Amino acid sequence: MTDFYRWLMHAPGQPMVKEEGTVPEPAAGEVRVKIAGCGVCHTDIGFHTEGGVRTNHELPLALGHEISGTVEACGEGSEEWAGKPVVVPAVLPCGDCELCQAGCETSCRQQKMPGNDFHGGFSTHIILSSRWLVDASGLPEDLDLADVSVLADAISTPYQACVRAEVSDGDCMVIIGAGGVGSFGIQIARAMGARVIAVDIDDSKLERSLEYGAIATVNTHGMDTKESRKAVQMACKAQSFPRVKLKVLEMSGTVPGQELAWSLMSFSGVVGIVGFTLKRVEVRLSNLMAFDARAFGNWGCRPQLYTPALDMIRNGEIQVLPFIKHYPMDEINEVLDGVRSHKIGNRPVLIP
């Protein structure tokens, strides 16, 4: 029985193939992490779908970028991490370029992403630089290390979006998409003091969002953009939201969601695009000028923000367990199919 394996994608649309081998050794400045769990993100589905997003690394490649585990071997210069529980950031910037020095690490043109630029977390182990590792010690007693693998993207990404939207006490917000990312975004925004209306097309997700931070919900299933906008505006009025300074975060990664987000732009408001779709969206860009509003896109999360995001888990402001489910990594192909066909609701975490 081997002590190392990884699941490789040889071609988009084809089943992942298990490869067994010798445990790799870290070089200077690197560590080897024994993976506790790896979350499955819709980005993985995008890579794995024929005609979808291309990986930067040539195939075959082990996907997976939501990784937690324990450092079990250290290269020279990384000995301080020996034996520590860690989370691996999904975006690993170079740290030295002009963008990184300006605090724009997620725009770094030399950034590396597990499961995209090098072999990722659909494996028993991963080798990577120790520079941006996040110490995951001190978790609540009810959480396993595998549970916080989703910090790497599903939690840290909406956390950075809320930071960039400058969410604060008393803000009025609409979060579009109450799934894998939005469910955590709602909790984060609420913990920062905002009043949040959740929008989705799935009643079960919306009902759950009311338990974890939303004050009201809107189901836009079957509605066009005009109808959706009116429904959300009615919900805002019912909650006594002002008609200005609305903060809207789009986390569904769909054309209807992005069109709705833009249509909800208000005077001095904010629109943040967090979800991703390959499809084009047509909007009237002049709204941004006419409303003197602000719009931004959010890719991943700066490594420096992972610890404060993790602290929200540590102090109970973010609940993780109701939104994830463990699966054996050997069921990876069934899990990918289940996520793609929307038969799996909670964020899957693959356990080697």
For residue 213 the two structure tokens come to 């931070």
DSSP β-ladder status, 30-39 and 125-129: antiparallel
State the CATH number of the domain containing residue 227.
Answer: 3.40.50.720
Do residues 145 and 60 share a domain? yes
Q: Which helix (H) or strand (E) holds 162?
A: helix 156-164
Name which of 320, 329, 344, 336 is nearest 145 in CA terms.
320
Is there a single domain that holds both residue 202 and residue 125? Answer: no
Q: Which domain holds residue 59?
A: 5-153+301-351
What one-letter code names the amino acid at 218? V
CB 343: neighbour CB atoms within 10 A? 10
305 and 226 housed in the same domain: no
Same-domain check for residues 266 and 324: no
DSSP per-residue letters across 189-222: HHHTT-EEEEEES-HHHHHHHHHTTEEEEEE-TT
Q: Report the CATH number at residue 79.
A: 3.90.180.10
pLDDT (tens place) for every residue of the chain, 352 residues total: 358 999 999 999 999 999 999 999 999 999 999 999 999 999 999 999 988 899 999 999 999 999 999 999 999 999 999 999 999 999 999 999 999 999 999 999 999 999 999 999 999 999 999 999 999 999 999 999 999 999 999 999 999 999 999 999 999 999 999 999 999 999 999 999 999 999 999 999 999 999 999 999 999 999 999 999 999 999 999 999 999 999 999 999 999 999 999 999 999 999 999 999 989 999 999 999 999 999 999 999 999 999 999 999 999 999 999 999 999 999 999 999 999 998 998 999 999 9
If asked whether residues 138 and 98 sit together in one domain, one would say yes
Question: End of a domain among 253, 279, 297?
Answer: 297
Same domain, 331 and 292: no
Find, among 126, 44, 145, the residue nearest to 87 by Cα. 145
Q: Verify that 292 and 310 share a domain, yes or no.
A: no
> Is residue 174 located within the same domain as residue 94?
no
On whether both 145 and 177 belong to a single domain, the answer is no
> Domain tally for the chain?
2
- CB–CB of 343/185 below 8 Å? no
Give the predicted TM-score (pTM) of the model: 0.96
Which residues, in sequence order, are CB contacts of 21 under 8 Å at separation 6+?
2, 4, 5, 6
